[in-house]
Chain A
Amino acid sequence: MEIEETRLPGVGLKHDLTTRSGQRVGVVSQRSGEREIVLYDRDDPDACRAVLHLTPQESEALAELLGAPRVIERLARLREQVEGIATEGIVVADGTPYVGRTLADAQIRTRTGSSVVAVARHGEVTPSPPPSFRFAAGDKVIVVGTDEGVRAVAALLMLG
């Protein structure tokens, strides 16, 4: 599969590819962040048959549906790529002291040297949660650090 990139001076960029079934598709990325998905005409390969306008949010959502790697999957790959870095999803168990308290209260970075990069709750991911983020029971806290640091976070969040 070959993706062809074309500059549209003053407008943005265009990427095209031909699918295995022979349909040519393209994405116009405007500078404003708007995206257009275009289907080229089979009879006139220079023209478009259909154009779909997407706002930045819509294109992000669509990209996700089309299988863009989610945060957790990306982290999993990161662990494979970088040796000496551990990534762990630690579940905040019910009844532990940090349920209902904020990320700032836990002082994870100062105490363990590891960083909380995301929190998953009911299948929704909050990337880089702010210090005011409040933990709830069942949250999956994604932590990046050394092996030791990550274990320390697990101890902290599970045992207090």
Chain B
Amino acid sequence: MHPAELLLELGAVIFGLGVLGRLAGRVGLSPIPLYLLAGLAFGSGGLLPLDAPEGFFEAGSQIGVVLLLLLLGLEYSAAELVGQLRQQAPVGALDLLLNGAPGAILALVLGWGPLAALAMFGVTAVSSSGIIAKVLTDLERLANRETPSVLSILVLEDLAMAVYLPVLTALLAASGPASALRSVVIALAVLAVVLVIALRYGRQVTAVVAADSNEILLLRVFGLALLVAGAAEQVHVSAAVGAFLLGIALSGEVAELARPLLEPLRDLFAAVFFVFFGLTTDPAQLPDAVLAALVLVVVGIATKVITGWVAARRAGVGPGGRIRAGAALIPRGEFSIVIAGLAGSSVDPRLAPTAAAYVLILAVLGPVAPRLADPLARRATARARARAAAA
């Protein structure tokens, strides 16, 4: 293809994403659903098929996943993760089981097979930490008493992803039960080794990338992330997990300095990732997928509300705050798409469109839900006060 053509199409798509992102910001929505829609529109069978930048989008989307997970890892220190795990493990387990089960059950009922069920488990279980952190900030709820419970759940989900993703990728790559078992064992062993390195030798890893100049720091961290991700992929641990663990291993000042450098890169390539997912999803499958997705949406809202309620009650928060916590947890986003992207159409052609529709709906509803739930929360608080006064 002619370079001019590539540049033109690429420029048009990326500029278009900028316009869409602005639009989403105006109405207070996450841009993720709009990026997905753009991908669907530009893909084969869409409104405006573009064939040119597919190669770029494929590579770019890989980098997008690596950066998404790397920055997620940079958010946390290893000590923070272990501490949260100790304190909040029961809530985390409840969250994953309650919210993963509907997806898994649906996949089994529809006859997609056990691998698709495992993938759908992840798709429905994981809230979008990106959207939720933004919504909590926008609604000025960072200081609310239920917020630490909400954030803890997000941390645990992110940590669970580190175990879940390698298992999923190992199983996807395996052929037959014996090889599946072996791949899972290898993947988990590698994960354990890397986790120990991250926990014990974080300082040494940090020393490898530390640099005086921003330019060199950026190149080192980004380069190392791709190297680790590639190596992880080689042993079927999934590139995303490698990047996540590297992020955790990097700590202190380097993490602080690297985060603002990498954020714009992540935003660019994450957008590319969402578009690529849309590009590779067949829009003709969407109408069929919508019904399944709607069922999952209704159940998924209910299960997240229950999770939030339980988590907040455990923290001694009143009924109003419990409702707010549940409503805050509803958005699903980037990681549901990451999982669906990993599983791809190799398990079942209906999985990706269903996940796309599910995320489209919940990423739009999610940020609105806390506002809708607010009157309910106020009423619950008033009722609790009245009861306390009467007693």
Name the interface residues of A42-99: CB closer than 8 Å to any CB of B. 43-48, 51
- Known contacts A44-B321, A47-B324; decide if A8 and B147 are in contact (CB<8 Å): yes
A129-144 vs B, Cβ < 8 Å mask (1 yes, 0 no):
0000000000000000
**Contacts of A31 on B, CB cut-off 8 Å?**
256
**Is the Cβ of B144 less than 8 Å from the Cβ of A46?**
yes
**Is the Cβ of B145 less than 8 Å from the Cβ of A45?**
yes
In the bound complex, CA of A38 to CA of B385 (Å): 22
Q: B371 interface residue, CB < 8 Å from A?
A: no
Q: B133 interface residue, CB < 8 Å from A?
A: yes
Name the interface residues of B68-89: CB closer than 8 Å to any CB of A. 75-76, 80, 84
- Known contacts A7-B148, A8-B148; decide if A14 and B143 are in contact (CB<8 Å): yes
Name the interface residues of B211-268: CB closer than 8 Å to any CB of A. 256
Closest partner residue, chain A, to B84 (CB atom): A9
**Is the Cβ of A51 less than 8 Å from the Cβ of B381?**
no
Min CB–CB distance A143 → chain B (angstroms): 32
Chain A interface size, under 10 / 10 to 19 / 20 to 34 / 35 or more = 20 to 34
B117-160 vs A, Cβ < 8 Å mask (1 yes, 0 no):
00000000000010001000000111111111001101100000
* Chain B interfacial residues counted at CB < 8 A: 29
Q: B320 interface residue, CB < 8 Å from A?
A: yes
Closest partner residue, chain A, to B75 (CB atom): A10
Closest partner residue, chain A, to B152 (CB atom): A9
**Contacts of B10 on A, CB cut-off 8 Å?**
none
In the bound complex, CA of A8 to CA of B146 (Å): 11
In the bound complex, CA of A20 to CA of B184 (Å): 58
Q: A6 interface residue, CB < 8 Å from B?
A: yes
Name the interface residues of A94-150: CB closer than 8 Å to any CB of B. none
- Known contacts A28-B143, A43-B381; decide if A10 and B320 are in contact (CB<8 Å): no
* Neighbour of A9 across the interface among B144, B151, B382, B385, CB < 8 A: B151
**Contacts of B147 on A, CB cut-off 8 Å?**
8
By CB atoms of chain A within 10 A, which of B84, B142, B143, B154 has the most? B143
* Neighbour of A45 across the interface among B129, B154, B318, B324, CB < 8 A: B318
**Is the Cβ of B385 less than 8 Å from the Cβ of A36?**
no
**Contacts of B75 on A, CB cut-off 8 Å?**
10
Closest partner residue, chain A, to B88 (CB atom): A9
Min CB–CB distance B211 → chain A (angstroms): 21
Q: B317 interface residue, CB < 8 Å from A?
A: yes
**Contacts of A16 on B, CB cut-off 8 Å?**
143
In the bound complex, CA of A36 to CA of B143 (Å): 8
Closest partner residue, chain A, to B385 (CB atom): A43
* Neighbour of B142 across the interface among A11, A44, A46, CB < 8 A: A11
**Contacts of B152 on A, CB cut-off 8 Å?**
9
Min CB–CB distance B279 → chain A (angstroms): 31
- Known contacts A9-B152, A10-B151, A11-B133; decide if A46 and B318 are in contact (CB<8 Å): yes
In the bound complex, CA of A10 to CA of B320 (Å): 24
Min CB–CB distance B95 → chain A (angstroms): 15
**Is the Cβ of B318 less than 8 Å from the Cβ of A8?**
no
**Is the Cβ of B381 less than 8 Å from the Cβ of A44?**
yes
* Neighbour of A48 across the interface among B140, B154, B318, B385, CB < 8 A: B140
In the bound complex, CA of A16 to CA of B142 (Å): 13
Given contacts A14-B142, A28-B143, could you give 16 more A-B pairs where the C-beta distance is less than 8 Å?
A8-B151, A9-B80, A9-B148, A10-B76, A10-B155, A14-B143, A14-B148, A16-B143, A30-B142, A36-B143, A43-B381, A44-B381, A46-B144, A47-B145, A47-B321, A48-B140
Of all A-B residue pairs in the complex, the 6 with the closest CB atoms, nearest first, are A46-B321, A38-B143, A46-B145, A51-B140, A44-B381, A10-B75
